[in-house]
Amino acid sequence: MGDKRKSSDNTLAMTLLKGRTFIVLIVLLVFFSFAADNFLSVNTMLLIGKHVALYGILAIGMTYVIITGGIDLSVGAIVGLAGMVAGGLLQNGLTLQIFGVTIYFSVPVVVLVAVLMGALIGVVNGLVITKFHVAPFIATLGMMYVARGFANIHSKGATYSDLKGYEGLGNQGWGFFGSSVAGIPVGLLILVVLAAIFAVLLKRTSFGWHVFSIGGNEKAAKLSGVKVDKVKILVYMISGICAAVVGIIASSQLAASHPATGESWEMNAIAAAVLGGTSMAGGIGTIGGTIVGAFVIGVINDGMVMCGVSEFWQMVIKGLVIVVAVVIDQFQRNLQAKMALKARNEGK
């Protein structure tokens, strides 16, 4: 009788652990609805949605990286650099000194350049990690400084402001990515589209299976024929692309590009992924869980601002959230291992 009750308790605990992020989100919404005036108003929810779009897209790429057992600390800097590259092209164009002319590009071309730049940085991260066997933490930390440095060099630390473009130059329309369609922020719509694409890629394709297998057991994956280096490079490329997209949306929302944009956002991305159930040990994670985690981070950030919590305490609380999420993840893994062992012994 005692064993059955214990087994039932373990099953209930596992169910609660798997749904912990959604439960936390509901609790936070209820708490801040009482703690902050008008927290559940339409305007506040739309504002949170704008912020969640940034954290969520960044966290999608981070989820892929963490599932392989890696980490990408350069994403926040890529956000800033992508915004600066886009802002520079919109405001100053590209000057060809040999011919003495300046070329201005349309918004779609500027977007493409920024995304390709993010992809290139991701590929470089992947190559350094796979070909030179540098630890992901060190490789991406170095790239974080490189990207942030180039973001400042690009404009000598200045801001590109009033990025509306000019009709005569054919580069108007940058504000679209920061606007709303039918009342819904465009950034949030982009998040939904990217989340759907990358969720299918992760769960329904051989590439996704390879990502999970590398995180679960890299040596076994290599022995089974998985091209580990190629998959890792693609994963870091995805992370770079997601970061560049966030840089585009952020600069569009602000109608300006600043080299410091995205500072410490890699922490929000990591927190969202881990809160959503992605294991820092690798091999476990879902895009859906990450998106819920991004909403938790967005609600915490905006809720604390509305409650007048200082920025310093916000950093403390977010740090504690990450630590607690990792501890709970470890507890869940241990509980799953115990339940699997018990089931195996009972089957003998």
The closest alpha carbon to 46, from 182, 214, 174, belongs to 182
Q: Looking at residue 21, what is its pLDDT?
A: 83
Range with the poorest average pLDDT among 63-72, 145-154, 253-262, 317-326: 317-326
Tell whether the model's pLDDT for residue 238 goes beyond 60.
Answer: yes
Least confident stretch, 5-14, 20-29, 99-108, 219-228: 5-14
What pLDDT is recorded for position 200?
98
What does the pLDDT average to over 27-49? 92
Pick the more confident residue, 210 or 94.
210
User: Which of 180 and 169 is assigned the larger pLDDT?
Assistant: 180
Q: How many residues does the chain have?
A: 348
5: buried, middle or exposed (CB in 10 Å: 19+, 13-18, 0-12)? exposed
- Give the span between the Cα atoms of 141 and 237, in whole angstroms: 16
Q: Which residues contact 195 (CB under 8 A, 6 or more apart)?
A: 56, 60, 287, 288, 291
Tens of pLDDT, residues 239-272 = 999 999 999 999 999 999 999 999 999 999 999 9
Q: Is 206 helix (H, G, I), strand (E, B) or coil?
A: helix
- Exposed / middle / buried, residue 309 (Cβ in 10 Å: 0-12, 13-18, 19+): middle
Q: Which residues pair with 102 in a beta bridge?
A: 95
**């869940």: which residue's tokens?**
332
For residues 201-225, give the mean pLDDT. Answer: 96
Residue with structure tokens 């998959």? 231
The angle that helices 311-347 and 2-18 make with each other, rounded to 10 degrees, is: 140
Q: Which two tokens stand for residue 345?
A: 């012994």
With a cut of 60, say whether residue 275 has pLDDT above it: yes
For residues 89 and 227, what is the distance between their CA atoms, to the nearest angstrom?
Answer: 37
Tokens coding 89:
């092209």
The residue type found at 231 is V
**For residue 156, what pLDDT band results from cuts at 50, 70 and 90?**
confident
Write the pLDDT tens digit of every residue in 174-195.
999 999 999 999 999 999 999 9
- List, in order, residues 6 or more apart from 289 with CB less than 8 Å away: 21, 276, 277, 278
Q: Is 101 exposed, middle or buried (0-12, 13-18, 19+ CB in 10 A)?
A: exposed
**Is residue 17 predicted with pLDDT exceeding 70?**
no
Inform me whether the pLDDT recorded for 99 exceeds 90.
no
Rounded Cα–Cα distance for residues 100 and 95 (Å):
7
Q: Write out the two tokens for 146.
A: 């490189």
Q: Please, what is the end-to-end C-alpha distance for the chain in angstroms?
A: 20
Contacts within 8 Å (CB) and 24+ apart, 101-110? 104/166, 104/169, 104/170, 104/171, 105/171, 106/170, 106/171, 107/165, 107/171, 107/172, 107/173, 107/174, 107/176, 110/86, 110/171, 110/174
Mean pLDDT estimate for the chain: 90
